[in-house]
Amino acid sequence: MSEKSRYTQTYPISWEQLHRDSKALAWKLLEMDFFEGIIAITRGGLVPAAIIARELDIRVVDTVCVASYDWQNQKGEIEIHKAVDHGGTGWLIVDDLVDTGRTADVVRKMLPKAHFSSVYAKPAGKPLVDTYVTEVSQNTWILFPWDAESQFVKPIVGRRD
């Protein structure tokens, strides 16, 4: 499937919605075992990890730094800029989204005993996540608030061809 036809829908997320959804993930995680710390997958997992760390009163936050996208284009190989190597026992991995599962697979292999959570999950990546809040279709591009600016949009009636 070409990159142009891969995403046929866009789902914009506001800062408020991301905060609510991250807090909802924290509520789900509250039922789990105690977590020693959080590992945020950068960059998308940083904001949800901060919210979850606050809600669960977790003070130890680390990062796994990877790059798998350049805007909507998936990169060939996942670039690991910073890894962790303690196995993951007692740790919570937090990401904003699990899409195809490529990043999740790499991080799971790095931290096989950690609990993997994501705010949003798509069908292809869902099997790699232990806990998530919202499922979106595979053909939907989630537009996160850090990738967007508020601007005027013509009313729907004015956009007809």
Query: What string of DSSP letters covers 115-153?
Result: EEEEEEE-TTTGGG-SEEEEE--TTEEEE-GGG------
The verdict on whether 99 is a catalytic residue reads yes
What number of other Cβ atoms are within 10 A of residue 96's Cβ?
24
Sign of the CA dihedral with 103 first, then 106, 110, and 111 last: positive
Determine the distance from the C-alpha atom of residue 154 to the mean position of all C-alpha atoms in its chain, rounded to a whole number.
Answer: 30
Question: Among the options 21, 33, 57, 99, which is catalytic?
Answer: 99
57 is catalytic: no
The one catalytic residue among 95, 105, 147, 161: 95
Asked if residue 119 lies in contact with residue 96, where contact means CB atoms within 8 angstroms, the answer is yes
Indicate which residue of 62, 70, 96, 147 is catalytic.
96
Residue 96 appears among annotated catalytic residues: yes
Catalytically active residues, by annotation: 95-96, 99
